[in-house]
Amino acid sequence: MNYETLVPVMRRLAIEAGEKIMQIYNSDDFDVKVKSDDSPVTEADEAADAIISAGLRAEFPDVMLVTEEQSESHTAKGDTFLIVDPLDGTKEFIHRRGDFTVNIAFVENGVPQRGIVYAPAKNRMFFTQADGQSVEETGDFALDTIGALSPINVADSDNTALMVVASKSHRDQATDDYINKYNVKDSKSAGSSLKFCLVATGEADIYPRVGRTMEWDTAAGHAVLLGAGGNVVRFDDHSPLTYGKEDFANPFFIAYAPTVELKEA
């Protein structure tokens, strides 16, 4: 994969999808359906998926594509592929809370190497550049003109006063029990893959996820965090979280700055 070609395409498609999502988000009403796994899906999910999938297939026809909204793609096999969650945080979208993102990533040999996380309602965009460094872009997010870029890096964490970020919609007692093993200065909640980005920018030190996620939920944020110097490991044995698993389902995991002294599960 030529990253110099890939990154601008991912960025452009994320912006196009975000524009469509915001049109629907700002409308008076929108349809909400329930998928076979009881998770919600909206016309924004489907419209954004159509934009991104068509764009990626046109540009990279020979690369395996996995996307949340196309169940037939979930039987694909391989450890090198493009992976998409066109609207991560659908519950946040439905309740008009703003914490939703467009996620596009490229996984190579089981590792998310490049990714983009775009939060159109928050006006925040994070992506890995072709050279692997993660950046936050600010500006108007024009399709063909990149705005001001700021390299992002994880915090040099103080283990006596950690900042924790956890899920807004899925926080539970098991999560709190694990967080309580650390010396926590403060905690915040966020929806969707923004939690990875808060660790990547140093706004948080650690994000533990004790709950179900799929690879399309995490790949883009994982790539951004890796490009900012962070890590993502399995909750049970602290081995690296890998991609291309049998059903694209993740184990529990921890995303963190490397200076955090991880506790056992």
The residue among 260 and 146 whose pLDDT is bigger is 260
The response to whether 85 counts as a known ligand-binding position is: yes
Q: Per the domain annotation, does 264 fall within a domain?
A: no
Q: Where does a domain end: 94, 124, 151? A: 151
The response to whether 221 counts as a known ligand-binding position is: no
Q: Per the domain annotation, does 115 fall within a domain?
A: yes
| Euclidean distance between CA atoms 222 and 230, whole angstroms | 9
Give the neighbor-by-neighbor strand order of the sheet with 253-256. 184-190, 162-167, 206-209, 253-256, 231-234
Which CATH number fits the domain that encloses residue 111?
3.30.540.10
pLDDT tier at 97 (50, 70, 90 boundaries)?
confident
User: Same domain for 109 and 196?
Assistant: no
Boundaries of domain holding 216: 162-256
The response to whether 49 counts as a known ligand-binding position is: no
Q: Once rounded to an integer, what is the mean pLDDT over residues 230-244?
A: 97
- Phi first, then psi, for residue 227 (nearest 5°) are -70, -10
| Euclidean distance between CA atoms 224 and 218, whole angstroms | 10
pLDDT tier at 41 (50, 70, 90 boundaries)?
confident
User: Same domain for 54 and 23?
Assistant: yes
The pTM assigned to this predicted structure is 0.94
Which CATH number fits the domain that encloses residue 215?
3.40.190.80
Q: Per the domain annotation, does 91 fall within a domain?
A: yes
Q: Once rounded to an integer, what is the mean pLDDT over residues 237-251?
A: 96
Count up the domains in the chain and report the number.
2
The residue among 97 and 151 whose pLDDT is bigger is 151
The response to whether 217 counts as a known ligand-binding position is: yes
Q: What is the pLDDT of residues 203-236, one digit of tens each?
A: 999 999 998 899 999 999 999 999 999 999 999 9
Least confident range of 40-44, 131-135, 179-183, 243-247: 40-44
Q: Per the domain annotation, does 125 fall within a domain?
A: yes
Q: What is the chain's length?
A: 265
| Euclidean distance between CA atoms 85 and 215, whole angstroms | 9
User: Same domain for 69 and 115?
Assistant: yes
| Euclidean distance between CA atoms 5 and 17, whole angstroms | 19
pLDDT tier at 98 (50, 70, 90 boundaries)?
confident
Q: Per the domain annotation, does 157 fall within a domain?
A: no
How high is the pLDDT of residue 192? 80
Q: Per the domain annotation, does 44 fall within a domain?
A: yes
The fraction of the chain above a pLDDT of 90, given in percent, is: 78
Q: Per the domain annotation, does 265 fall within a domain?
A: no
- DSSP, residue by residue, 123-159: TEEEEE-TTS-EEEEES---SSS--EEEE-------T
Q: Per the domain annotation, does 89 fall within a domain?
A: yes
The response to whether 78 counts as a known ligand-binding position is: no
| Euclidean distance between CA atoms 262 and 182, whole angstroms | 9
Q: Once rounded to an integer, what is the mean pLDDT over residues 49-53?
A: 98
> How many other C-beta atoms can be found within 10 angstroms of the C-beta atom of residue 146?
17
Angle between helices 43-59 and 3-25 (to 10 degrees): 160
User: Same domain for 227 and 175?
Assistant: yes
The residue among 34 and 143 whose pLDDT is bigger is 143
- Phi first, then psi, for residue 67 (nearest 5°) are -140, 140
User: Same domain for 134 and 175?
Assistant: no
